[in-house]
Amino acid sequence: SVIHKLGIKPYDLIRTKETIFIENFKGKTYSDDEWIRILHENPILIERPILIKGDKAVIARSDEKINEFLENN
């Protein structure tokens, strides 16, 4: 549901610079459902922080993103 609220594909939620990603998943192709399973099994790979308000969410990596999200939702 969080991925749906973000309006992105599961792969877009992945921290691709993490060692676990580089060593185990980089360059491989997985379905959206498989990426969700991988994220569930390896939560370190999930971009954060994520702000959720109602049916909207945003990856809030900057103060600007946080303020924009809070002002508009």
Query: What pLDDT sits at residue 19?
Result: 98
Residue 6's CB: how many other CB atoms inside 10 A?
19
pLDDT of residue 72: 86
Amino acid 15: pLDDT = 97
Residue 34 near residue 27 (C-beta atoms within 8 A): no
pLDDT digits (tens, 9 = 90+) for 12-40: 999 999 999 999 999 999 999 999 999 99
Non-local (6+) Cβ contacts of 6 within 8 A are 12, 13, 50, 57, 58, 59
Tell me the whole-structure pTM to 2 decimals.
0.83
Looking at every residue in the chain, the average pLDDT score rounds to 94
User: Residue 70 pLDDT > 90, yes or no?
Assistant: no
- At 57 the pLDDT is 93
